[in-house]
Structure 1
Amino acid sequence: MYLKRFEIPHETLDATFSAYSSLISAHDAANWESSMISANKAVAITRRRYDEEREPFERALVQSTNALQDFQAYLDWERSHSHSDPFAVRTLFERAVAVHCLVPALWEEYLFYLFDKFNVQNALWDTTERAVRNCPWSGDLWAVYTRVLEINNASREDVLVLLQRALSIGLIQIRVDDLVKTLTALCDYEQRRIDWDKDGGVTEEEKAGLRATFQEMFKTIKQSFPDGDPYYRLEKYYAEIETRLGDVEKARKVWEEVVRKHGLETEVWLRYIEFERRLGNLQRCEKLFQRAGQPQRTLDWPERLLETWEAFEHEHGTIKSLHLALTRVRRRAMEVQAMAMEVQPLPQVGKKKKQRKQTAEKFLEAKHKKRANQFAKRAAKNEEKRKRNPGSEELEGSPGAKKSKQERNNREGSQESIESLPDADQEQQQEQPPAAEKEAAAESSKLNLMGPPSFVPRRQPKKMPPPTQASSETAAESSLDVKAGSSAEAAVAPVADTTTSVPELSSSLPFDGRPMTRFYTGQRPHAKLATSRGGRGGRGRGGFARGAGR
């Protein structure tokens, strides 16, 4: 036992060797030296294998905390190298299932290895029981358990009890695949119990029992899955069993039921045709090809059916049936080509739309990112300005700062315009009679209540008093200076700034409230406000209002 243990790498190899040495010293002291020499050789070989070959796998398991893929790589190496030890492989399998006990594929791999290398009744039985106890939802493991019972010559009652146990748990009914695998294993067991080669053939009792088993399996599947098995595995199996039992018509009925449910699947028709072909019914094969290849039947893989049909007609068909098959094949090829031409642009359109959408999303994302960066820079700049000037009310870039700055400029411009009015207008305001002053004040209050106007109303022309002799002489001298082109006098002559708001001018210029053709914005300077009544700045009546807009 110790010598066998020395051949298996394990962490306590030194302790095992010490225990073996103590045992030999106590019970076989005369042969202690020879025994220790042979033990040392075995331990040295084991250590070399462990250090040189198994150490990388063990280190990987430690680093990955016993990951399943690392166990799988370790198992593959243990089973593939030249000096593979089945006991070492089994030990490694036990380590793997101890950590990953809920992986059905690992248990199934372990059981197949035991089938191949050990085939010991107790080992197989115990390991299979542990597998289904840990993974009761796996149909593969229940099928393996059924075969283990059959290998160990268990009775039919034991097999049926196992099936009832699997169904009573209720986990194999979650997936149709697991349920079908479990029931197929039972059908395998039932049909293998029949001696098909015995004299006299199969008895009627055996036929009835086998058919009852299949019918019970169909009923069990329908209870959990009303639509049945999408791959019709038990139906194909049952059709073959009926053929072996000699009832071809019943087998054909099974296939007819299958094509009724899965008539749009090419594989179903081909299997049905193959069934008839093995029986030698070539005419039935030709009729089935014609049924499956009808233009109104939209199969999932029509090209494969038509290729098989054409090959069949070349081998077994007449000239008429071959011509019919070639016609169908050609027509179907044209239909497929037309459908391809219609359907092919659609993915391209969808692809272009998707690309445009992605481009737009990237553009918007870049735009938002740029705007966010601008806001961040502006906020940082305002923060620095606030730190430098704690008393500042408005910051750069804010709407309030722009608005307040514009209003401040307008107020300053209006004040300068008022201050720059000629003295002649101020004298006229002083000489204005009291009644006119009251009238102008009332008009100004109306305009103030209405708010700042967006236009300058047209004013009434004032009746000028008859000119005196001094004023006539002054006007004559002024006109002579203008005709002479005296640029110096023109430069010295005061020019009124017309940026004055309307309510400020209303005290000296009465308005009638009529709209004018051009809006007064108060931004552009206007030429010769003082001389607009008769000079070149005005045009006819209301020369000030019309000239102000130009």
Structure 2
Amino acid sequence: MRDLYERAITAGGLHVTEGSKLWEAYREYEMAILTINDGNDEEKAKQVQRVRALFHRQLSVPLADIESTLAAYKSWEAEEGNTRDPDSQVDDVPPNVLSAYKKASEMYNARKQYEDELSVVAESEANKLQVFLKYIKFEKSFGDPARVQVLYERAVSELPVSSDLWMGYTSYLDRTLKVPAILKSVYHRATRNCTWVSDLWVHYLLSLERIRASEDELRHVFELAIQCSFPSMNEYLNIYLTRVDSLRRRMPTGLDFELIRQTFVDAAEFLSPQLGIEELLLLHAYWAKLECNIGKDIAAARGVWENALKKSGSVLEVWQHYISMEIERGHTHEARSLYKRCYSKKFAGSGSEAVCHAWIRFEREHGTLDDYDLAIKRSPLV
């Protein structure tokens, strides 16, 4: 029972307006044990000290009815024969307890305005959110993570689908507490209540990676994320890229590169029909780079770009990225072949002209005189 009460105090004992109910229930339990204690002076003395310690602990916490708690403490000490003046608010109270009580009273008075505001805006969720955000900012200024966490818990229990609260709460835990069990619990509830907020899922995956969660856990959360309904395809892309980032960073731990390759395959199949060209290039460029750098498979990297050309061969930027990859790796023959394949294609705007200029510049920097002459000959600009 004591363990259960301690857990309850940890979870809600700092709740400014409701926390005293937990403390009082705990004291009543210990007082009941004291009442039925018969005959064993040593055990009775221990039990008296338990009750006294609970009073002292509660009197150090800023709660709404802290004055009545002090009065109850004085009355109890009088019943135990340990005070001369039960009506006094200060006599016979240990100096350390009195000091903690005064500090707690000051802390409560500083928070009372926020509690009053919350009681007034009970019918307006938008206004309540603003009050909670101000209250949380105020609490953060004192640097007590336990108090901030309890306040966030109060806020999300009353406004469970507020993405602003969940984003703020999870970010605060990532920066401050970093306790794996707490992080997992809060992120699980955040994504359950706000499934459509892709940033929450991204942060969830990153947080799991930071606390070194297992690959099974990471894969499970990723799979849940891509089954959600997000407002745009770019948000799905961000989820996929976050997954790839994580796999890439963990390759030295023994993960199979095939996990990265399959993730890219799934992403391309799911996203390509609806992605813009900029996002499509981001996906394929990253994929091809990892095929080269980690997979050590240049043929697979070329395959990535060849597949992109099948779908978007009329887009100049796809060719440019493909050629840049070959040039960066010193594959001048392959780069030249790509220029020969694309120089006669009709690209939008001044795309065809840009290809010709790029080919001539390439041959000037890398080719023989014959190669340069060929580029000049085939260029419609000369």
Same fold (TM over 0.5): yes
Deviation at 1:147, TM superposition (A): 4.0
**Superposed, which structure 2 residues align to 1:86-105 within 5 Å?**
86-104=145-163
C-alpha distance 39-69 of structure 1, shift in aligned 2 (>3 A): closer
SS in 2 for 1:296: coil
Question: In structure 1, what is the Cα distance between the partners aligned to 2:107 and 2:164?
Answer: 33
Name the CA distance, whole Å, in 2 between partners of 1:25 and 1:305: 90
Compared CA separation, residues 303 and 42, structure 1 to 2 (3 A): farther
2:126 counterpart residue number: 66
Q: Which residue of 2 aligns with 1:121?
A: 180
| Partner AA of 1:102 in structure 2 | V
- After superposition, what is the alpha-carbon deviation per residue over 1:331-387, rounded to whole angstroms, capped at 9, x for unaligned? 9xxxxxxxxxxxxxxxxxxxxxxxxxxxxxxxxxxxxxxxxxxxxxxxxxxxxxxxx
For 2:329, the aligned partner's letter is L
Cα separation, 1, equivalents of 2:143 and 2:93 = 31
Given the superposition, is the C-alpha separation of residues 66 and 289 from structure 1 closer, same or farther in structure 2, using an over 3 Å criterion?
same
1:32-81 per-residue CA deviation (whole Å, 9 max, x = no partner) reads 45422332134225524665xx6998699679643487258627844885
1:257 alignment counterpart: 307
1:227 aligned to which of 273, 276, 279: 273
Equivalent residue, structure 2, for 1:194: 251
Q: Which has the higher helix share?
A: 2
Q: Is the 8 A contact 2:174 2:183 kept in 1?
A: yes
Shift of 1:171: 3.3
Could you say which residue in structure 1 is the equivalent of 2:102? 40
Q: Deviations over 1:72-106 (max 9, x none)?
A: 8627844885x454344434433443344334454
The number of residues matched between the two structures is 311
Structure 1 residues 110 and 280, CA gap change in structure 2 (3 angstroms): farther
How far apart are residue 268 of structure 1 and its match? 4.0
Relative to structure 1, the CA distance from residue 24 to residue 210 in structure 2 (aligned partners, 3 Å threshold; closer, same or farther) is farther
CA–CA distance in 1 between the matches of 2:66 and 2:380?
Answer: 77
| Corresponding residue SS for 2:251 | coil
| Residue identity in the other structure for 2:106 | A
- Name the CA distance, whole Å, in 2 between partners of 1:316 and 1:71: 64
Q: Report the counterpart of residue 211 of structure 1 in structure 2.
A: 261
The one-letter code sitting in structure 2 at the alignment partner of 1:257 is N
Q: For residue 238 of structure 1, report the CA deviation from its aligned partner.
A: 2.6
Amino acid in structure 2 at the alignment position of 1:133: R
* Contact 1:7–1:46 (Cα < 8 Å) also in 2: no
The answer (yes or no) to whether the contact 2:136–2:151 under 8 Å persists in 1 is no
Q: CA deviation at 1:126?
A: 1.2
SS in 1 for 2:100: helix
TM-score normalised per structure 1: 0.43
2:49 matched to which residue of 1? Answer: none
| Conserved 8 A contact 2:291-2:300 | yes
Q: Write the distance in 2 (CA, Å) between the matches of 1:313 and 1:258.
A: 23
1:107 — aligned with what? 166
**Which whole-Å CA distance do the structure 2 matches of 1:309 and 1:278 have between them?**
15
**SS of the residue aligned with 1:227?**
helix
Alpha-carbon distance between aligned partners in 2 of 1:278 and 1:207, rounded to the nearest angstrom = 23
Give the superposition deviation at 1:246.
Answer: 0.9
Structure 2: 5+ residue stretches without partners: 1-5, 19-61, 84-91
How far apart are the structure 2 equivalents of 1:46 and 1:304? 72
Distance 2:344 2:112 in 1: 68
| Post-superposition offset of 1:13 | 3.6
Distance in 2 (alpha carbons) for counterparts of 1:283 and 1:79: 64
Conserved? CA contact 2:140–2:148, under 8 Å: no
In structure 2, how many angstroms separate the alpha carbons of the residues matched to 1:63 and 1:127? Answer: 26
Cα gap change, 1:303/1:45 in structure 2, threshold over 3 Å: closer, same or farther?
farther
Query: Among 275, 281, 284, which residue is 2:325 paired with?
Result: 275
Instruction: Kindly state the Cα deviation for residue 253 of structure 1 after the two structures are TM-superposed.
Output: 1.8
Q: Percent identity?
A: 21
Out of 169, 173, 176, the position equivalent to 2:233 is 176
Aligned to 2:38: none
Residue 195 of structure 1 aligns to a residue whose secondary structure is: helix
Q: Cα distance, 1:251 vs. partner?
A: 0.7
Q: Equivalents in 2 of 1:77, 1:42: separation in Å?
A: 19
CA distance in 2, matches of 1:32, 1:242: 71
Name 2:89's counterpart in structure 1. none
Q: Which runs of 5+ in 1 are unaligned?
A: 197-201, 332-550
Matches of 2:128 and 2:351, distance apart in 1: 43
Which whole-Å CA distance do the structure 2 matches of 1:32 and 1:314 have between them? Answer: 89
Letter in 2 for 1:238: W
Q: Secondary structure, in 3 states, of the residue corresponding to 2:252?
A: coil
CA contact (8 A) 2:344 2:352 kept: no
Contact 2:353 2:381 in 1 (8 A): no
Q: Deviations over 1:94-122 (max 9, x none)?
A: 34433443344542332122111111122
The alignment status of 1:236 with 2:295, answered yes or no, reads no
Over 3 Å counting, the alpha-carbon distance change for 1:105 and 1:284 in structure 2 is farther
How far, CA to CA, are the matches of 1:76 and 1:39 in structure 2? 23
- 2:291–2:301 contact (8 Å) kept in structure 1: yes
Partner of 1:350: none
Residues 198 and 235, structure 2, Cα contact 8 Å, conserved in 1: yes
Decide whether aligned partners of structure 1 residues 31 and 312 sit closer, same or farther in structure 2, where only a CA change above 3 A counts.
Answer: farther
Distance 2:102 2:133 in 1: 30
